[in-house]
Structure 1
Amino acid sequence: MESGGPLLYPRAGPSADMTRSTEEDPLVDGPLISADALHSAIRREFQTLPTHCHAVLLSLLHVVFVVLSICVEVLCVLKFGQEDACREVLSSFPGSSVVVLAKAALWMLVMLFTRCAQHHHSQARRRGYLRFYRLTRELNQLPITVHSTGNVLLLVFLSVGLSQEVLVYMTLSILVLELLVVLPCLLSYIVKVMRFNSERAAPDVSHEEHTHTFSITSLPTETGFREGSSLEEVVEKQADLIEYLKQHNTSLSRRLLNLTAQH
């Protein structure tokens, strides 16, 4: 049954755009807060890493340990005319046993430093600093790897039954090699962490968004697959990025609500 009255709903004309994106129809006319205020809030929440102080202390202890070990091995074990002084300092403990026990204590300190650095760097990765995390991951693992390898070699030499003089020279060689490998690694780590703390950069995602905004011909980001990249590395990067974005969206929503309430 047709009615000649006016239509309650206007018919869509042929020129109606049915494919209009939701992005072209915003819920509000303008942003609630400025982007500068949001970036400044993110920058204020930057958390520095304290591990460079731990690395400096560990480097000093390592140098002192090697110097004292050389003195004990040469003066007390090889007995270059300092037997009385060694007995006063070490009492009845053999000099070689003191060096081995001190090396075990140093290994424990290196292990604690590695665990502490891993904890702080994992926190930095969750805050979105994925590139810095991968840049320093090998530096965190190298000291404990070198010291563990040195411990294994020292145990082998002690169990072989070498002469005392040869054992002293092999022990000192291991200690010096450990210092020559670990010390540059720690110094490089200290420089990278201090630079990271001084730059106070925004998370990697914010940096990439800023780069794509002002550079149309920019290359693909690190999270994408490109020729020469291993699949395992790409999957790890994407997993880290997804984890960060989840936490970032939650904190961003809270920050938006707080800033909106203030305005």
Structure 2
Amino acid sequence: MESKARSLYGQAGTSADMTCSLEEDALVDGPLISADTLHSAIRRQFQTVPTHCHAALLSLLHIVFVVLSMCVSVLCVLKCGQVEVCARVLFNVSGDSVIVFGKVCLWVLVLVFTHCVQHHHSQARRRGYLRFYRDMRGLDYVPLTVHSTGNVLLLVVLAARLSTQVQSYMVLCILGLELLVGVPCLLYYTVKVRRFNRERAAPDVSQEEYSHSYSVTSLPTETGFREGSSLEEVVEKQADLIEYLKQHNTLLSKRLLNLTAQH
């Protein structure tokens, strides 16, 4: 009896192994997703950051505003031109008020530009361009800071109730300082964003994987802590990297399921 049980058990085990092997062969012989198809589906298309156009346009508007303010101040406020023509062109509004209204409109445009920049930089951060996000993080608030400081100085000059001539010269000096500081910052920002769009680089994680795969003497990644590193900066980089990897893995899972369903 025992010998028969052992023989039956052995036949059952052999048949189970054969069934498992047949199932594995069926899975292997089934339709597989080619590497090229999977790679083309996973690969993300590079998306440019369009804020360099906005920065260039804002720089042009800033220059035009300062030039027009100088003309209004000289011709209409200091009355170096025809007073009747100025009153007709400005609809009987004083030159100082026109300059202040224009300054407020320019500040609103700078505020909208700053929020637009923050939105596009956050999108680039979610796409894995963490280094670009950190490099531009301090630069995107400079125009708004410059114009806000100019507004404060302009309010101080207007509240001081100086003579018309002194007040006009002070207002022009403030606008000139804003122009000398704000426009170079916008141009520098434009150059950096255009360079980023022209390089069309892969996300930071992909660049590190490529460098570690093909470089023998590659440097360690920036996600680890080493001497001379700021602990707060390292933790922030790790948080950004983890957030990007989670989003990237979710996208890969969805696309892999779609490709599997198609095949």
The alignment's TM-score, normalised by the length of structure 1, stands at 0.83
Describe the superposition over 1:140-198 as per-residue Cα deviations: whole angstroms up to 9, x where unpaired. 11000100011111111211222221111111111111111111111121122222222
AA at the equivalent of 1:164: T
Q: How many residues align?
A: 241
Separation in structure 1 between the aligned mates of residue 121 and residue 159 of structure 2, nearest angstrom:
39
Aligned to 2:57: 57
**Runs (4+) of structure 1 moved beyond 3 Å?**
5-9, 36-44, 257-263
Aligned to 2:156: 156
How many Å apart are 1:91 and its aligned residue? 2.4
Q: Give unpaired runs (5+ residues) of structure 2.
A: 11-26
Describe the superposition over 1:220-243 as per-residue Cα deviations: whole angstroms up to 9, x where unpaired. 222222332222211111111111
Separation in structure 1 between the aligned mates of residue 212 and residue 142 of structure 2, nearest angstrom:
36
Equivalent pair of 1:33/1:259 in contact (CA under 8 Å): no
Separation in structure 2 between the aligned mates of residue 212 and residue 70 of structure 1, nearest angstrom:
57
AA at the equivalent of 1:118: Q
Deviates most, 227-236 or 88-97? 227-236
SS at match of 1:138: coil
1:181 maps to 2:181: yes
How many Å apart are 1:70 and its aligned residue? 0.6
Separation in structure 2 between the aligned mates of residue 260 and residue 198 of structure 1, nearest angstrom:
35
Cα 1:33–1:204 change in 2 (3 A) is farther
AA at the equivalent of 2:237: K
Q: Give unpaired runs (5+ residues) of structure 1.
A: 10-26
Deviates most, 192-201 or 235-244? 192-201
Separation in structure 2 between the aligned mates of residue 171 and residue 41 of structure 1, nearest angstrom:
58
Equivalent pair of 2:117/2:140 in contact (CA under 8 Å): yes
Equivalent pair of 1:52/1:189 in contact (CA under 8 Å): yes
Aligned to 2:90: 90
Aligned to 1:79: 79
Equivalent pair of 1:110/1:143 in contact (CA under 8 Å): yes
Cα 1:259–1:239 change in 2 (3 A) is same
Larger helix share, 1 or 2? 2
Separation in structure 2 between the aligned mates of residue 259 and residue 210 of structure 1, nearest angstrom:
25
Aligned to 1:68: 68
Equivalent pair of 1:43/1:202 in contact (CA under 8 Å): no
The alignment's TM-score, normalised by the length of structure 2, stands at 0.83
How do 1:1-263 residues align onto structure 2 when only pairs under 5 Å count? 32-34=33-35, 40-41=40-41, 44-260=44-260
CA RMSD of the aligned region, Å?
A: 2.5
Describe the superposition over 1:103-140 as per-residue Cα deviations: whole angstroms up to 9, x where unpaired. 01100000000001101110110110001111112221
Cα 1:124–1:149 change in 2 (3 A) is same
Describe the superposition over 1:29-70 as per-residue Cα deviations: whole angstroms up to 9, x where unpaired. xx9543x65555455522222211211211111110000001
Report the structure number with the largest CA radius of gyration. Answer: 2
